[in-house]
């Protein structure tokens, strides 16, 4: 299900603030929740294998709710024809941007010759970007690392960006850590390689005509606002999922909107309406309620909220009442009327 909202699909999205594509986390249910908190933050799908779309699994991977706009489709692959087809499908389904994954370090992704290992083949990535741009009029962007293994000097990153930009890519999201493709797990690659914001800043200095979005280690809007003085955009990863309410002030602080931030309880109750619809369509509650766990992080009752969702959400007969009951642990009671 696709459609339009305040951000018309097909128009270049505002990338000043975005939430990173994260496997097993940023599915359509999580994105719907995040959109209830921020109207303008750009959201990304989980990485979708272009090969899966090539073999006819579009409905499974591409379905999303119109309310999610602006939303970008991230593709993974190394076959120009498959990626061009995936970009074409993404446009047909109503996405606002097509992004190529050149940063994932997992063994499974490497075995398919895509993800971070593509940093070693900038000419191939340029060919992939050119093919994707041939399949859609949507913006085609690239998300990558600052380096991999022994290809971790600035000159390697600059050559990669220059080569890929030559194929028409104007926006790069740079995860400011290198990736060790051998010796570190994907989880370790998210934390162990040190952050190097200065390398990404140098990239922006050397390529001022390109849009450079910084990713890696950003946990608060305060940090994002500071970094926006140096970069065109900031992408938040795990913090945006684990503590989603940090986005509550994003529309005002980052995008200049005047609408007040939504209350957490109001977000939960709006999400309950969505959950009720999805339950009718046969979706299990646990697939949706798991994204709510961090909504009340840091508030009294947050632990009981998490515990209730985790204990009762996975039950086969679980319904929207599980969320309502969890809310009793954190909801502020109404003030009694004065005499």
Q: Which domains does the chain have, with CATH numbers?
A: 17-253 (3.20.20.70), 264-327 (1.20.120)
Burial class (CB in 10 A: 0-12, 13-18, 19+), 155: exposed
- How far, in Å, CA of 325 to CA of 318, rounded? 12
Q: Tokens for 339?
A: 């005499």
Residue 107, sorted as left (phi over 0), alpha (psi -120 to 50) or beta, turns out to be: alpha
> Which residues are within 8 A (CB) of 154 and not within 5 positions of it... i.e. 6 or more apart?
199, 202, 203
- How far, in Å, CA of 23 to CA of 239, rounded? 14
pLDDT of 10: 44
| Predicted structure pTM score | 0.92
Contact of 174 with 213, CB cutoff 8 Å = yes
Contact of 214 with 176, CB cutoff 8 Å = yes
DSSP string over 282-295: T--HHHHHGGGTTT
Neighbouring-strand partners of residue 172: 142, 212
**At residue 48, what are phi and psi to the nearest 5 degrees?**
-105, 120
Strand ranges, E, within 2-69? 17-19, 42-44, 48-49
- Three-state SS at 296: coil
pLDDT of 37: 98
- How far, in Å, CA of 56 to CA of 85, rounded? 11
CA 51 to chain CA centroid, Å, is 21
In the 3-class helix/strand/coil scheme, how is 303-330 assigned residue by residue?
HHHHHHHHHHCCCCCCCCHHHHHHHCCC
Q: Which of 102, 104, 117, 169 is catalytic?
A: 104
Catalytic: 169?
Answer: no
Contact of 323 with 290, CB cutoff 8 Å = no
Q: Which residue has the tokens 């933050």?
A: 41
Q: Which residues of the chain have pLDDT under 50?
A: 1-10, 333-339
């Amino acid at each position: 299900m696709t459609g339009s909202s305040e951000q018309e699909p097909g128009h270049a999205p505002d990338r000043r603030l975005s939430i990173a594509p994260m496997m097993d986390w940023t599915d359509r249910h999580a994105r719907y929740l995040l959109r209830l908190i921020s109207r303008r933050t750009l959201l990304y799908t989980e990485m979708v294998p272009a090969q899966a779309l090539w073999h006819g699994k579009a409905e499974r991977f591409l379905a999303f709710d119109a309310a999610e706009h602006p939303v970008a489709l991230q593709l993974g692959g190394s076959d120009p024809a498959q990626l061009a087809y995936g970009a074409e499908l993404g446009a047909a389904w109503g996405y606002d941007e097509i992004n190529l994954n050149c940063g994932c370090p997992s063994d499974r992704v490497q075995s398919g010759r895509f993800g971070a290992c593509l940093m070693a083949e900038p000419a191939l990535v340029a060919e992939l970007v050119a093919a994707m741009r041939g399949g859609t009029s949507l913006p085609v962007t690239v998300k990558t690392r600052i380096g991999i293994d022994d290809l971790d000097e600035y000159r390697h990153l600059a050559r990669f960006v220059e080569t890929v930009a030559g194929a028409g890519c104007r926006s790069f999201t740079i995860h400011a850590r290198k990736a060790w493709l051998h010796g570190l797990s994907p989880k370790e690659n998210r934390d162990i390689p040190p952050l190097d914001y200065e390398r990404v800043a140098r990239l922006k200095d050397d390529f001022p005509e390109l849009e450079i979005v910084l990713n890696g280690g950003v946990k608060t809007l305060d940090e994002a606002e500071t970094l926006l003085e140096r970069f065109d955009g900031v992408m938040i990863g795990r913090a945006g999922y684990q503590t989603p309410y940090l986005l509550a002030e994003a529309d005002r602080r980052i995008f200049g909107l005047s609408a007040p931030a939504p209350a957490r309880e109001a977000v939960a109750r709006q999400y309950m309406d969505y959950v009720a619809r999805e339950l009718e369509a046969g979706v299990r509650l646990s697939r949706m309620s798991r994204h709510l766990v961090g909504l009340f992080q840091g508030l009294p009752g947050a632990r009981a909220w998490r515990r209730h969702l985790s204990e009762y959400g996975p039950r086969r007969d679980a319904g929207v009442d599980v969320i309502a009951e969890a809310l009793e642990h954190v909801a502020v009671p109404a003030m009694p009327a004065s005499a």
